[in-house]
Chain A
Amino acid sequence: MSTDRFSRQSFLGAYAEDLISQCTIGLIGLGGGGSHIVQQLAHIGFQRYIIYDDDVVEESNLNRLIGARTVDVPASTQKLHIAKMTIYGLQPNASVKGFACKWQENPEPLRECQIVFGCVDSYKGREELEIACRRYLMHYIDIGMDVHGKERPVIGGQVILSSPGELCMRCMGFLTDEKLATEAGLYGGAGSRPQVVWPNGVLASTAVGLAVDIVTGWTQRSLSHAYMVYDGNQATISESITLRKLKIGTCPHFLDTDVGDPILVDL
């Protein structure tokens, strides 16, 4: 049943509205990137959400947290609440299961999802999410941005699609032992990184575009994986050079049979 509300996106296909409304989306992190994503998903018509964030709005978030207002700082409003307000404001009948904790503290609800967006800060966090998505069969879409250098700052970022049975973030050259080790060596001493609203918007829009394509198949390309690199100084987003040069076709890091709850086997 199509409504006037969806008339401008009817090119997505005759069944797109139903497909979008049936899909359960997971969202980890409702800050700079996640708040953009949740807003777009609600506009598009997604109805089912499993969302996690254990943080509250602080003054330093107001430069980029979509939906946050000045009064949310003294009120210590949960980011989870901001996201729920955004969704319900656009989709009053949506099902939103929200958790003000780290997803690892309550992972079972996430497993219902067909697609999970990861808007986390660390490589370790990304690795853990990807492993969960492989084990419980969910598409994982990762976004992240960073600003490098002080004299001549360079804005960079990525959008990655990692799907069960297809190439993973290690295959695509994004996750490496070296990056994980370097990050672990910092022991949380990296401090807060620069974050601004417009790169998050570009990355979130690209990620949402991938999700809509996966759900509706409107482009008719069979999307198995993606690694898009953002250059914020040039204002471009393009396929990763690493991915273009990749020689492997199947993922050696995750086996098709490594799914479900881990089993402890007596030796």
Chain B
Amino acid sequence: MRIDIKLTGRLYNKIVRDLARPHPFAAERVGFVFGRVGLLADEGALILLTRYQAIPDDQYVDDLRVGARIGSKALTWAMQALYFGRATREGIFHIHMHRHKGETRMSRIDSGDIPKLMPGFQSVSNEAAHGIIILSLNHGSGWVWLPTRKEPIPADTMSVIGAPVGIFERRITK
């Protein structure tokens, strides 16, 4: 099943600028980006990202075992935003950046921790697609939990519709 992610150049630049900012104690930043779904041919899905929410500095938890950990206040905010976006089936994507070039994948900590958020997101907004996006310095990868699906589907491409266009293709197998 084909899954593509798209976002505008403006939104991409806004996300990258925020995630690149140093944090007072966390080693990296995370954020939430919202997205809606469009149908592709052959029952594929297109995730169209709409807006980004940075997480305020004081909503991070100081935890030396991970690059960044966010607290309950940020998660509560995300759940509320999802609740209010249910009518438009707006889903939420956890997003962060790995500071290297080329295609990236979930680290051991990423794959252990972040997917645990998805059942909660799905319980609040069960008709939307949710997921995880990890950017690198010049690439990006996504994992999408479609409505009612328990397992993620890796996105085939992520396209930045700006000038210049960015097309990040998945080469790493599942």
Contacts and interface: CB of A to CB of B under 8 A. Distances in A.
Given A108-B41, A165-B8, A263-B88, A139 B161 contact: yes
Contacts of A164: 8, 161
B167 A23 contact: yes
A217 interface: yes
Interface in A86-122: 108-109, 111-112, 114-115
B164 A263 contact: no
B46 A260 contact: yes
A51 B36 CA distance: 25
Interface string B57-72: 0000000000000000
A139 B89 CA distance: 24
Nearest to A260: B36
Nearest to A216: B164
A256 interface: yes
Given A163-B163, A216-B164, A224-B163, A111 B8 contact: no
A111 B164 contact: no
B48 A259 contact: yes
A199 B41 CA distance: 35
Interface string B86-129: 01111000000000000000000000000000000000000000
A221 B87 CA distance: 39
A259 B85 CA distance: 14
Nearest to B127: A263
Contact of A257 (B46, B51, B167): B51
A102 to B, nearest CB: 16
B169 A259 contact: no
A261 B165 contact: no
A254 to B, nearest CB: 11
Per DSSP, chain A at the interface is loop
A223 B159 contact: no
A198 B100 CA distance: 48
Contacts of A224: 163
B10 interface: yes
Contacts of B35: 260
Contacts of A139: 161, 165
B50 A263 contact: no
B163 A259 contact: no
A79 interface: no
Interface of B: 4, 6-11, 35-41, 44, 46, 48, 50-51, 87-90, 159, 161-165, 167, 169
16 contacts: A19-B165, A19-B167, A135-B48, A137-B8, A138-B161, A139-B161, A163-B8, A164-B8, A216-B164, A222-B162, A222-B163, A224-B163, A257-B51, A259-B36, A261-B39, A263-B89
Given A22-B169, A216-B164, A260-B37, 11 more contacts: A19-B165, A111-B38, A112-B46, A115-B165, A139-B161, A163-B9, A164-B161, A257-B88, A260-B36, A260-B38, A260-B89
